[in-house]
Amino acid sequence: MTRRLKALFERHLPRSSTNGTGVTVPIATKLILSFLLVIFVTSLIFIAVGVQLISRRLVAEAQEKVRNDINAARGIYVAELDQVDAVVRFTAGRFFLRNALLSGDIGPAARELLETRLREGLDIFTVTDPSGNVLFRASNPELSGDNQSHNELVGAVLDNRESASGTTIFLAEDLQKESPRLAEQAYLEFIDTPKARFREETQETSGMVLMVAAPVYDYRRNLIGILYGGNLLNRNFDIVDTTKQTVYKGLKYDGKDIGTATIFQDDVRISTNVKNEDGTRAIGTRVSEEVYDRVVRQGETWIGRAYVVNNWYITAYEPIRDINDRIIGILYVGILEQKYRDIERRTILIFLAITVVGAFIALALAYLLSRGISGSIGRLASASRELAHGNLDARADVTSNDELRELAESFNAMASALKKRDEQLKAFAQNRIMESERLAMIGQLAAGVAHELNNPLQGIVAYSHLLLEKAPDDDPMRSSLQKIVTQADRSKDIIRGLLDFSRQTKPQKMMSNINHILLECLSLVEKQPLFHNIEIEKDFVGNLPLISVDPSQIQQVFMNMIINAAEAMEGNGRLTLETRFDPVDKTVDVIFTDTGHGIREEDMPQLFDPFFTTKEVGHGTGLGLAISYGIVRKHRGTITVESEIGKGTTFIISLPETVEERIITS
């Protein structure tokens, strides 16, 4: 590779890609970092969405479950009431009771009533007369005679003559009457827990009873008495424990019951299997204000998270109504949230593990992929580095099936082309050297011949002129003499041209104004007949820097240009002379433009060769451009030519300005 080419490569091919701070970041690192970013972002989104979905799904499932569970609990509650209902109504229809009431003496029925109460496990089993005055209490035989028509269900039977059943509240005094034991069972003191609803009272003395009242008729369907029975729910754990057993099979989690059920009287737990910290049933604790408001005040079912006594549960609460549809309590079921939280946590952990493993696999793949890419790029980079250092045989070996291979192929093609171009350049340079050697030899030969011929020719010219002057006008020899003179002058011109061409004189340089030299040339030619019909246009730039040239040699060059132009226009046309300063190349340019016949394309290569002329024999020596070329080269300048047949020709002579020599003319 030539030195110039090499320099070019080193300037334009950076060794490696560097960023603004000068730190080189390998492509593989960049690729991996971007992969990492993508993986990280997608994993984050994936995890966020996944966790959301899992939690929501689990919560929805748990809520669906408690919704079913509360239905089951209600079923058990109603079944319990139905059982009381069956006993009371059946007994109310039996002969022994009817007959006893008809006879006006309840005594004979007492025994049967006592037995039935014990057998059916009823807390309350009482007979009244048709006005509601108590005749006999199986739970408290000692006390009778009081009136119970204020009782909702007894009142309902009195009003409707039909049996009535439902949940009702017994005040302490009524419970006391039915049995002191029941009043005691119902009594409870409130226990405060976190989040429990605030209440001023500190105790509950009344009780909630599953109760049925049925009419007793005589044979003509006259009301002769009322039988009512019931079970006190306070501290009676049948319903809640049956629910727990049926629905949750007594499953435990972390030592705690997973499923719990509770009956509230208003806001107080009167029957429950939710435990206090000490393991006792949480009787006397109260519901939260939030749940109370929703279920008791607004009469709606609550499904959702709730803090129960001392733990979070997924819960369902629904109102318990009396026969007049007033809300007097709450039925509750709940599943320990902990279990679902743990399932959720486990599921999320598994999910996270899968995501992380996935991310690592993706990362590994990304690593392999980027290594492949950066390997190809690395090979390309090292091949181009080698090329830049002059090894034109450097080739990039990329086998991957992608654009990088195309790039490598283009690179290899480029390297081959460069190599070919380099070889051509070498051959061309070689030719030029041989050519100039040949020209130099011709020059030396011509110079020798010219030098030898010069002296004899001087004699011929001098004497032929003398003879012509001396010969009378009518001398018949005169025309022959005239021819000798012409041919001798012509030979003199050729010899002088040859001598000029071969003269190795060094230019006598001095700071000169090119505009001035041009003007001088013009003053020499303007008077000549060849220029009479030529319009000369001057386009000189004013502040042309002075440059260091040999003024007489440069004048010779300009004269050649001007005369060639005039000859090409055959004395008719426009010659434009332009000077300018090229600030980029730091040259003074002189531009000769004519409107002559132009130069044929095929003549271009020989244009500057000595003796090349297209002019008729006797008119051109073919030395003008060759001499001009030599002079301009000695001044380190260039001559360029552009031409169009029939339109004209432009010669541009560029002479360099050396900085230290630069002086601007005013």
Ligand X SMILES: Nc1ncnc2c1ncn2[C@@H]1O[C@H](COP(=O)(O)OP(=O)(O)O)[C@@H](O)[C@H]1O
What DSSP element (H or E) covers 333? strand 327-336
Cβ closest to Mg ion, residue 624 vs residue 630: 624
What is the β-pairing status of strands 327-336 and 648-656? unpaired
Q: How far is the CB of 568 from ligand X (least distance, A)?
A: 3
330: left (phi over 0), alpha (psi -120 to 50) or beta: beta
Name which of ligand X, Mg ion, none residue 304 binds, using a CB cut-off of 5 to 8 Å depending on partner kind.
none
The residue among 275, 249, 246, 251 whose CA lies nearest residue 262 is 275
Nearer to ligand X among residue 334 and residue 596 (C-beta): 596
The CA distance from 509 to 655, in Å, is 13
Query: Residue 89 carries which side chain, given as an amino acid letter?
Result: R
Taking the complex as a whole, the smallest distance from the CB of residue 406 to ligand X amounts, in Å, to 49
What is the nearest approach in angstroms of ligand X to the Cβ of residue 558? 13
In the complex with ligand X, the residue whose CB is nearer, 316 or 599, is 599
- Please report, in angstroms and rounded to a whole number, the separation of the first and last CA atoms in the chain: 46
CB atoms under 10 Å from CB of 413, counted, come to 10
Give the per-residue SS3 of 159-208: HHCCCEEEEEEECHHHHHHHCHHHHHHHCEECCCCCCECCCCCCEECCEE
Q: Please identify, using beta-carbon distances, which residue of 507 and 620 lies nearer to ligand X.
A: 620
- Give the list of residues 6+ apart from residue 45 with CB closer than 8 angstroms, or none: none
- The least CB distance from residue 380 to Mg ion, in Å, is 55
Q: Retrieve residue 546's tokens.
A: 């002075």
Cβ distance to ligand X smaller for residue 452 or 493: 493
CB of 515 to ligand X, least distance (A): 21
φ and ψ of 321, to 5 deg: -110, 150
**What is the nearest approach in angstroms of Mg ion to the Cβ of residue 560?**
6
**CB neighbour burial string for 483-521, b if at least 16 within 10 angstroms, e if fewer:** ebbeebeeebebbebbebbbeeeeeebeebbbbebbeeb
Residue 649 touches which of Mg ion, ligand X, none (Cβ within 5-8 Å per kind): ligand X
**Residue written as token pair 């070919």:** 420
Smallest separation, CB 475 to Mg ion (Å) = 36
Q: Choose the one of Mg ion, ligand X, none that binds residue 614, judging by a C-beta under 5 to 8 angstroms depending on kind.
A: ligand X
Nearer to Mg ion, 243 or 564 (CB): 564
Residue bearing tokens 């424990």: 241
Binding residues for ligand X (CB under 6 A):
560, 564-565, 568, 594, 596-599, 607, 612-615, 620-626, 649
Nearer to ligand X, 158 or 625 (CB): 625
- Partner from Mg ion, ligand X, none contacting 270, C-beta within 5 to 8 A by type: none
CB 135 within 8 Å of CB 128: yes
**Closer to Mg ion by Cβ: residue 617 or 659:** 617
The reply on whether position 628 binds Mg ion by CB under 5 A is: no
In the complex, least distance from residue 613 CB atom to ligand X, rounded to whole angstroms: 3
Give Cα 31 to chain centroid, integer Å: 14
Spatial CB neighbours of 457, under 8 Å, sequence gap ≥ 6: 488, 491, 492, 495
Q: Which residues ranging from 608 to 627 are in contact with Mg ion (CB under 5 A)?
A: 624
- Between CA 219 and CA 648 the distance in angstroms is 148
**Site residue total, Mg ion (CB under 5 A):** 2
Nearer to ligand X, 425 or 499 (CB): 499
622 binds, among ligand X, Mg ion, none (CB under 5 to 8 A by kind): ligand X
CB-nearer residue toward ligand X: 277 or 601:
601
CA 357, distance to chain mean position in Å, is 23
Cα gap 319→300, rounded to integer Å: 7
Minimum CB distance to Mg ion, residue 620 (Å): 6
Q: Which residue is nearest to Mg ion (CB)?
A: 624
Question: Under rule CB under 5 A, which residues in 554-573 are in contact with Mg ion?
Answer: 564
Backbone angles phi, psi at 603, to 5 degrees: -85, -20
Minimum distance of ligand X from residue 483's CB (angstroms): 21
We find the least distance from the C-beta atom of residue 606 to ligand X, in angstroms, to be 8
Single out the residue of 591, 596, 557 nearest to residue 573, CA to CA: 596
Taking the least distance from each CB to ligand X, the nearer of 178 and 594 is 594
Residues interacting with Mg ion, by CB under 5 A?
A: 564, 624
